[in-house]
């Protein structure tokens, strides 16, 4: 049995992940590839409970370290009970966000040290890594204007323009550090142009 591929999609809030996720699922289904769509934080029963704690506006005062630890607690459950078993069965897995988000949000946005995040990554992931990461990049003002149109913003979406600028820069830094895995996609173009960039990448898998 051939191991499945692990694809992650990431970017600042409002980068347009949802539309592109629909496209990727359709594209892979047409190729008769069984794809499991999942997300972070979340993806498992326990992970979804942790997600509720993380994004609820009731927990406004959460310490940044707690936020990072909860992200990795949910991720540990996700990898060990859902992602790895699926890949071993030969299914493909598409995750809406993954570890790069911790570097961008908790590292870039919250200013936590990269060494700390790497420590957790080494513990929880060991050498497990996505086959490809689609990084949707948009100017923060555009992302924020899309988030504004949502009915209710979650705890993290309530952050400032400066915070999201640091998040965006964090993602761009990661893509420079891992240029083979992380594909930086200009998602400020039309939907079709963005989809086309993704299609070209998927064809290489």
Residues that bind ligand TMP (CB under 6 A): 13, 39-41, 55, 71, 97, 101-102, 105-106, 156-157
CB 1, min distance to ligand TMP, A: 29
Three-class HEC string of 87-149: HHHCCEEEEECCHHHHHHHHHHHCCCCHHHHHHHHHHHHCCCCCCEEEEEECCHHHHHHHHHC
Number of residue whose CB is nearest ligand TMP: 105
Q: Which is nearer to ligand TMP, 3 or 146 (CB)?
A: 146
- Going edge to edge, which strands form the sheet with 6-11? 35-39, 92-96, 6-11, 132-137, 182-186
Q: Which is nearer to ligand TMP, 4 or 14 (CB)?
A: 14
CB 102, min distance to ligand TMP, A: 4
CA 95, chain centre distance (Å): 7
At 43, list the tokens. Answer: 């993806």
CB 76, min distance to ligand TMP, A: 12
CB 34, min distance to ligand TMP, A: 23
Query: Which H or E run contains 167?
Result: helix 161-177
CB 64, min distance to ligand TMP, A: 10
Q: Which is nearer to ligand TMP, 50 or 87 (CB)?
A: 50
Q: Which is nearer to ligand TMP, 20 or 102 (CB)?
A: 102
Sequence-distant (≥ 6) Cβ neighbours of residue 16 within 8 angstroms: 136, 138, 146, 187, 191, 194
**R_g (Cα) of the chain, nearest Å:** 16
Q: Which is nearer to ligand TMP, 32 or 56 (CB)?
A: 56
Count of C-beta atoms within a 10 Å radius of residue 38: 20
Q: Which is nearer to ligand TMP, 40 or 137 (CB)?
A: 40
CB 110, min distance to ligand TMP, A: 8
């Amino acid at each position: 049995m051939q191991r499945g591929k692990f694809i992650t999609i990431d970017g600042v809030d409002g980068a347009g992940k949802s539309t592109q996720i629909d496209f990727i699922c359709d594209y892979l289904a047409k190729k008769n590839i069984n794809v499991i769509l999942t997300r972070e934080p979340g993806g498992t029963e326990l992970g979804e409970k942790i997600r509720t704690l993380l994004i609820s506006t009731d927990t406004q005062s959460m310490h940044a370290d707690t936020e990072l630890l909860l992200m990795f607690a949910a991720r540990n459950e996700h990898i060990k009970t859902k992602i790895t078993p699926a890949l071993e069965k030969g299914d493909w897995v598409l995750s809406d966000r993954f570890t790069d988000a911790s570097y961008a949000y908790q590292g870039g946005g919250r200013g936590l040290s990269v060494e700390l995040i790497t420590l957790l990554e080494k513990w929880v992931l060991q050498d497990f890594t996505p086959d490809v990461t689609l990084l949707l990049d948009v100017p923060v003002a555009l992302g924020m204007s899309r988030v504004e149109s949502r009915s209710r913003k979650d705890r993290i979406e309530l952050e400032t323009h400066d915070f999201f600028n640091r998040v965006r820069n964090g993602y761009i830094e990661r893509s420079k550090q891992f240029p083979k895995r992380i594909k930086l996609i200009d998602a400020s173009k039309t939907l079709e142009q963005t989809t086309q960039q993704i299609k070209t990448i998927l064809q290489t898998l």
